Amino acid sequence: MKLLLHDAAPTDTASLGKALAACLDVGDLVFVYGPLGAGKTTLVREAAAALGVEDPVTSPSFTLAQSYHGRITVNHLDLYRLERLDADDLAEFETYLYGDGITFVEWPELLEGQARPTVTIRLEHAGPDRRKIEVEGEITARLEAMLGDPGPGHRH
């Protein structure tokens, strides 16, 4: 099952990040695809904040990965600069994947075939501040219910 947001404004991306946080659990692996500036880091930042991470999530430019500690550990990997995955990279990746956190991977192409993501997210530009966002994985039904329901305090 897929969840598709055709025309997500920044607030919609933020809501998706928060809802994602509520649906993910330790051991989950999230592949986040999309071109430069699509909003991958923005989405991970929103999810991490909702998981209690207080440090700002930035792009781990000169390292493969960064771990953040909120109510739960959030690992953020960005493989943009990696040309290929050697044995050391793979071993490092596995320490995150099999550790006690949730792992988000931007530019995950090199990991395809090495690990199965529990959730796959694809972002595309759809205007200066609009994005098309597709989410695939077992959590999508729950995610859709959460996003469609503004929650307590918003009912009339």
Ligand X SMILES: Nc1ncnc2c1ncn2[C@@H]1O[C@H](COP(=O)(O)OP(=O)(O)OP(=O)(O)O)[C@@H](O)[C@H]1O
Residues 99-123 as b or e (16 or more Cβ within 10 Å = b): eebbbbbbbbebbeeebebbbbbbb
Total residue count of the chain as it appears in this document: 156
Of the candidate residues 59, 66, 73, 140, the single one contacting Mg ion (CB under 5 A): 59
Helix (H, G, I), strand (E, B) or coil at 101: strand
Q: Which stretch binds Mg ion (CB under 5 A): 10-18, 35-43, 81-89, 120-128?
A: 35-43
First to last CA, the chain: 30
The least CB distance from residue 84 to Mg ion, in Å, is 20
What is the Cα–Cα distance from 8 to 27, expressed in whole angstroms? 28
Other CB atoms within a 10 A radius of the CB of residue 156 amount to 2
Nearer to ligand X, 129 or 138 (CB): 129
The least CB distance from residue 99 to Mg ion, in Å, is 22
Q: Which residue ranges make up the site for ligand X (CB under 6 A)? A: 8-10, 13, 34, 36-42, 59, 106, 129-131
Nearer to Mg ion, 29 or 123 (CB): 123
- Answer yes or no whether residue 131 interacts with Mg ion by CB under 5 A: no
What residue 39 binds from Mg ion, ligand X, none (CB within 5 to 8 A, per partner kind)?
Answer: ligand X
Of the candidate residues 17, 29, 31, 41, the single one contacting Mg ion (CB under 5 A): 41
